[in-house]
Structure 1
Amino acid sequence: MTDDPIPLKPRKSRAACPICGRPPAPEAKPFCSTRCADVDLGRWLNESYRVPVTDETDEDGETAPGGERD
């Protein structure tokens, strides 16, 4: 008998559907169904997903004119 550790297989983590949390379906990955995929598309088209920005910086991350502080 040896004291070598037993090699373990890495676990495959299954990401859940981002809309409802169910396991993903192969034909609609990463979603569980086409319904959840359509819900996500609708949120994008209605601009429900947004990236927060401040008035002090523009798209490039540079300070906007007039936005400088003392």
Structure 2
Amino acid sequence: MTERASGTGACPICGKPAATEYRPFCSKRCADVDLSRWLGGVYRVETEESPDAPKKDED
């Protein structure tokens, strides 16, 4: 099995071994830190769209 498939690996926040319950994190705290970073805009997915581009309606 690979690290990802087995659930063993390092927590991406602190580097401790991942816990099955919070995979890929080691704890709820590290999972919450990661969520906070996403919500705060620290992480983002790059796109070709400009922030001022009009949004298309999806039907």
TM-score of the aligned structures, taking structure 1 as reference length: 0.54
Report which structure shows greater RCO (CA 8 Å, sep ≥6).
2
**Displaced runs of 4 or more, over 3 A:** 11-14
SS in 2 for 1:47: coil
Unpaired runs of 5+ residues, structure 1, are 1-10, 60-70
Kindly report the root-mean-square deviation, in angstroms, between the aligned alpha carbons of the 2 structures: 1.8
Q: Between Structure 1 and Structure 2, which shows a larger proportion of helix residues?
A: 2
Larger radius of gyration: 1
Pairing of 1:9-28 with structure 2 (within 5 A):
12-13=2-3, 14-28=8-22
SS in 1 for 2:26: coil
CA gap 1:12/1:47 in 2 versus in 1, 3 angstroms: same
Unpaired runs of 5+ residues, structure 2, are 50-59
